[in-house]
Amino acid sequence: MPHIHTHHLLKTHHNTHNLSVFIIFILFIAFFTFFTILINPININNPNKSIPTTIPDHIIHKLRLSVTFLPLKDLRFSHIPLQGHTWFMSSLYDTHQQGQVQFQKFPSQSSQNRLLCLMGRDTHDGSWNSYALAWPDALPYNSTFMPGLTFVSYNHYSYENLWHGLSALVPFVAWHRMNNCSRRPARWVLYHWGELRLGLGPWVRSLMEATFDGPVNVEGLGGAGDGPVCFEEAVVMRHNEGGMWREKRMEVYDLMRCKARIYCGVGSEGRDGSIGMTLFLRRGARSFKNQSVVEEIFRRECGKVEGCRFMVAHSNNLTFCDQVKVMSKTDILISPHGAQLTNLFLMDRNSSVMEFFPKGWLKLAGVGQYVYHWIASWSGMNHHGAWRDPNGDHCPYNEDDRRCMSIYKSGRIGHNRTYFAEWARNVLALVNSTKMVQTSFKSTSSSPICNCAS
């Protein structure tokens, strides 16, 4: 029988006893901390007592006083308002994962875990509105704390226009998708040139309601008095879709298409190889001078192809869901240049677009005339070029003179019977050949379960 060292056993027993006491002590501290938080929750209505802290009061007081507000619109960068850090919140830089959207997140490591605070509600001069970062346990005096996730948007153009509104809000959908669609905003704060905007166009609002599965709350910051507003969590976008790979953009448009169809009750069934050709019209500026002739040309060519269905729709007479339904039945979209073409991404993937311009746009309109080429590419569509009317209103200046654009911008569009007919035949032949090798021509994103994998 081996000899047992009594002293060794006693020492081991003593160490085990000490370890047990230590574990019990740790568990007691953890339970006490949890119980303290449970009976003393964070008071979101009183930022002066927002988060329990052991920091001395005089230090917190100094931190509150040290919060520095800067103009939302930095006039020093008015000559390059959209480049780099932009003139909106110019002291801060974006987070950019390769191929994804550019954004700012608060709190985060890059903000040193500080919250975003905004002050000012000016709707006419963005330089009067301001922003700052503040520690969560030392928010500015007289501030209002807003819980939940807030989306803060910068738009250089308009939230009413379909194209410009969509361009500004697509990055939030991209961020939403990056987070597996698990994060929905409690509110939206909208800025144009640093000026607060209080609403979205109805089409844009409906699309965001569909995408985020709930109402869009545009925050006017009016309930905060004259003091600053600080957000528990905020995501800021100011570069639209800039920096995103085409593949990532297509995934975002797939998600919005899918969500819009569910929102509007549009089925995902195929169309048995039929071809939907839609003449999508607008009124006023950039409308066709002789709509009936244009309609007759394309209707006739569609009638020559078995299974082709021709439809005429007026964008100004349709609700958001009406437009979603029309696009879901369309494989070839025929339309003048204009905001109504933004609907093109609501067609099935690989659908076709035919665009029309008044006289003068090619030389004078700048890169903005190509936006529907871009969105067609980003959403997985085929843009089959544009017809540009060589005839139009007379300009008293040289046709290359920039002043002529004010005349050409709202010009109306004529027609060329021979060109339109041949163009239609070529596009129909391409689409028909695709249909013949598919049992149904529908987007994979038409599934009732929308893909939110990042």
The domains of the chain are located at: 53-244, 248-446
**Which H or E run contains 275?**
strand 275-281
Residue 107 confidence (pLDDT): 98
pLDDT given at position 54: 76
- pLDDT for 271 equals 64
Do 270 and 441 meet the contact criterion of CB atoms below 8 Å apart?
Answer: yes
Question: Which H, E and C letters describe 133-197, residue by residue?
Answer: EECCCCCCCCCEEEEEEEEEEEECCCCCCHHHHHHHHHHHHHHHHHCCCCCCCCEEEEEECCEEE
- pLDDT at residue 209, as a whole number: 98
Reported CATH class of domain 248-446: alpha beta
> What's 284's DSSP letter?
S
The list of the chain residues with pLDDT below 50 reads 1-19, 21-51, 439-446
**Concatenated DSSP letters for 99-134?**
TS-EEEEESSTTTTTPEEEEE---SS-GGG-EEEEE
Q: What is the pTM of this model?
A: 0.84
